[in-house]
Amino acid sequence: MSYSYSRTGVQKRMEQTSNRYGNRISILRLWQPGERFEYALAQGGFKGESYIQVIDWLADKAAQTLAQTGRLTVVVQDNGSLHTSLLVRQQWARWQEQGLFIFFLPSYCSEIVGIFILIIVSLITTFIRNASSPSLAREARVVGKRLDISGGKSGSSTYYYATFEFPDGSREEFGVGSKIYGMLVEGDLGTLHSQGTYVWEFNRRI
C-alpha cells in the first residue's frame, strides 16, 4: 500500500518495481465537493486491510474535527463487497466512536442522484443545527434503550438509541455511540451532556 500526494496540475507517478500485482494502479478517492479531494493508491487492487488503513486515517481526522467543532464526518459509498466485508463491518463501531459514520447508496436506480442529494442535505442540516445549539448539562434518568439494525445480506449497520427523562417530566431520545450505549442501564440517574441531537457523555450518579 502506498500513500502520496502531488501538486495540483502535476501528474502523479507511481513506480512499479514488481509485476506481482499486475500493471493496474487502483485509486481510492475521498471527495468533499467544493472543499477537497484526497486519495490513496495501490498497486493491483485494494483489499480489506488496505481499505481499513485509509478509513482509519480518515477516522483520526474525524476525531479531531469532532473534538474541535462537535461535527460528525460522514462517508457515503456504494455497496461494493470491499466496503461491506466482515472485516470492514467489524470496524464500524470503532469508527463511529471517533465521529465517522458510513452510509451506503441504495442499489442503482434512476432516482439515485436525487436520493444521494436528499441524504447529503439531511445530514448537513443536522450538523448545522447541532453546531448552532448550546451545550447542555442536565440531570436525567435513562428510561429506554433500543437498537436499529439495517441492511441486507451484503452488510448491515447498527444504530444505538437511548431515551432520557428530565426533572420536568419531558423525555428525549438520542442516537448514541456503541460505547455510551453499552454503559447505560435503564433507571440510571446522572448528568447528560448533549448538544442538539448529539450526546457527548452521560455521567452516572453513584
pLDDT at 14: 54
Say if residue 176 is in the same domain as residue 161: yes
Asked if 79 and 124 sit in the same domain, the reply is yes
pLDDT reading at 28 higher than 70: yes
Q: Which residue in 201, 203, 198 sits closest to 69, CA to CA?
A: 198
The answer to whether residues 155 and 118 belong to one domain is no
Report yes or no on 7 lying in a domain.
no
Q: Whole-angstrom Cα distance, residue 161 to residue 98?
A: 17
Name the β-bridge partners of 74. Answer: 101
User: Which residues have a Cβ under 8 Å from the Cβ of 99 and sit 6 or more positions away?
Assistant: 59, 62, 63, 65, 66, 71, 72, 73
Higher-confidence residue: 56 or 119?
Answer: 56
Residue 188 sits in the same domain as residue 177: yes
Note whether residue 5 is domain-resident. no
Does residue 18 form part of some domain? no
Length of the chain: 206
16 domain-assigned: no
Q: In terms of domains, do 52 and 85 share one?
A: yes
Select from 132, 149, 182 the last residue of a domain. 132
Radius of gyration of the chain (CA): 20
Residues 117, 158: one domain? no
pLDDT at 196 over 60: yes
Model pLDDT for residues 82-96, shown as the tens digit of each residue: 788 888 888 888 998
Q: Which of 132, 153, 180 is the last residue of a domain?
A: 132
Tell me the pLDDT tens digit for each residue of 125-170.
676 677 677 889 999 999 999 988 876 555 567 888 999 999 999 9
Q: What is the pTM of this model?
A: 0.45
Query: Do 120 and 141 share a domain, yes or no?
Result: no
For residue 11, tell me if it sits in a domain: no
Given a cut of 70, is residue 34 above it in pLDDT?
no
Is the domain of 119 the same as that of 196? no
Specify whether 143 is located in the same domain as 122: no
Which of 97, 132, 167 finishes a domain?
132
Q: Identify the pLDDT of residue 163.
A: 96
Q: Does residue 44 belong to any structural domain of this protein?
A: yes
86 and 149 in a common domain: no
Which pLDDT does position 2 carry in this prediction?
Answer: 42
Structural domain includes residue 9: no
pLDDT of residue 125: 65
The boundaries of the domain holding residue 55 are 25-132
- Co-location of 159 and 88 in the same domain: no
Domain check: are 158 and 170 in the same one? yes
CATH number of the domain residue 196 falls in: 2.40.50.660
What total of structural domains would you count in the chain? 2
Does the CA dihedral 94-100-121-156 come out positive or negative?
negative
- pLDDT score recorded for residue 54: 87
Residue 43 lies in a domain: yes
Residue 67 scores a pLDDT above 90: no
Over residues 5-23, the mean pLDDT reads 57
Confidence of residue 3 (pLDDT cuts 50, 70, 90): very low
